[in-house]
Structure 1
């Protein structure tokens, strides 16, 4: 069973901390435990747990203090089969379109200059990797994904923008992300994705989940507009971009 330490978080929650760094192995352990808790709850076990919140390296468990407490939750977690926490993480695979053309990529030139390359190199590096969704945060549906190729490891912008368009594909430090909403932001903007990442009408509003795998498929501005129109008209569903790690969606 993975090792973690338990940290009390008020009288309605506790945090299970697996480590102190961003690491795919820690993220996999967090997600595996989160899935094990979800499966146990679905079977009517782990009474009193209200919600879980996974991060890069920890899992916060929120519970109803009228039904249970820290000690009882700790006992219940220890009853989870160890094998269920050691299974390989089975995240979904996505191939998401991204337009890297200048109108959608205000920082592409500056990033290329910073790494002593050209824009084609930046696009090739960014779209040539498969990323793991470490966690959702900052905004509803905002996926923190890693790990970027080493040449693209850049600090955040010294001057954050007050408005970053929804769908913006961005990088900072060793991570990449997609802004699901228009918001302020200090990451470098390399392109834009037309696929909505959050829909409150869905049973699971966030399109991506921790443990998912994401690749970016470079598309032209014309193809971006076609996909955006089809999604808005209901002719295309976001699930169409879920795929195997080998296959490309139709």
Structure 2
């Protein structure tokens, strides 16, 4: 494990750990040391970023506590399995047929694959709650759109390269939109505000237009 200073009030931890172990470390830091000065810990595929209050905990004490972490036992508790509803109807999937055309598959084949694949959250970024979901095989990978959209609605389910994702808020997008998820993944008033964390797994399940409209405002 390698610990580097990221700034006056942050550390970056590197090492040879799995996604689940990085997620476990971030959980461990937030759960055990928030009361003594750890403000947040964010996992990524190859590191953990830790923000802390240097008035409440000095960097040397925090480094020492981090080095006491045991990854094997805590990693078992880090991952959560999520099942998210998705409506693949063309009304909410403007790129569905073009994606099928480029991949040379039917819409049923694409939906069947996407709704049976187990995805893993490898990173959170781009926007609050935006999870990069790995698990797209080579046969279903496409480059990003040449012309980005200026806005897609919240919940838009997308594909690009080796990723799938759900846009948690309305935002610009250059990924291919193949459906919509009516379940909110980011809510500022919730605790925690973000549903998905690095190391979690996601499976999508098809839902109907009437079902999705019951969720949407």
TM-score, normalised by the number of residues in structure 1? 0.78
In the alignment, structure 1 segments of 5+ residues that lack a partner are 20-24, 233-250
Is 1:193 paired with 2:185? no
Match of 2:15 among 18, 23, 35: 18
Measured in 2, the distance between the counterparts of 1:98 and 1:167 equals 9
| Aligned twin of 1:52 | 41
State the 1:71 CA deviation.
Answer: 3.2
State the 1:60 CA deviation.
Answer: 0.5
Match of 1:203 among 173, 180, 191: 191
SS of the residue aligned with 1:203?
Answer: coil
Output aligned runs, 1:150-189, within 5 Å: 150-189=138-177
Is the CA contact (8 Å cut-off) linking 1:31 and 1:89 kept in structure 2?
no
Q: Which moved more, 1:167-176 or 1:208-217?
A: 208-217
State the 1:61 CA deviation.
Answer: 0.8
Q: Which runs of 4+ in 1 moved over 4 A?
A: none
Deviation string 1:132-163 (CA, Å, 9 cap, x unpaired) is 22232222222221211332222211111111
Is the CA contact (8 Å cut-off) linking 2:118 and 2:203 kept in structure 1?
yes
In the alignment, structure 2 segments of 5+ residues that lack a partner are none
State the 1:116 CA deviation.
Answer: 1.4
CA RMSD of aligned residues (A): 2.1
Deviation string 1:18-70 (CA, Å, 9 cap, x unpaired) is 36xxxxx621121121122234326x6xx332211212221001122234444
Is the CA contact (8 Å cut-off) linking 1:89 and 1:211 kept in structure 2?
no
State the 1:182 CA deviation.
Answer: 0.6
